[in-house]
Amino acid sequence: MLYPNLEPERPVAYWRPVAGVRHGLEPDGPPFPGQERATLCGSRVQLGRVGDVDWLAPTCEDCWAEAVARRDARARRSTQD
């Protein structure tokens, strides 16, 4: 990597509540209502409008475990540079 400090920090996931569960979305790009997106736990969800109460939904455990694993893998890579 030529300019490591200029690489934008990409999120490991975008978190969105869908049908009562907060899933991590693949970080392809920022989520918008109406999109169909892949989750870190391996399903596909249709994004809707998100209200304040929706954010109180419990986090999907599989998405969380995958996000933590990806974050740790990235941390290991950056310390090797």
Binding site residues, Zn ion, CB under 5 A: 23, 39, 41, 60, 63
Residue 67 CB, shortest distance to Zn ion, in Å, is 10
Residue 76 CB, shortest distance to Zn ion, in Å, is 24
Structure tokens at 61: 């455990």
Quote the CA–CA distance of 62 and 69 in Å, as a whole number: 11
| Closer residue to Zn ion in complex, CB, 41/57 | 41
- In 3D space, the residue among 23, 54, 58 whose CA is nearest the CA of residue 37 turns out to be 23
For the CA atoms of 53, 21, 17, 28, the dihedral, rounded to the nearest 10 degrees, stands at: 170
Residue nearest to Zn ion according to CB distances in the complex? 60
Structure tokens at 2: 């030529």
Residue 46 CB, shortest distance to Zn ion, in Å, is 14
| Closer residue to Zn ion in complex, CB, 12/60 | 60
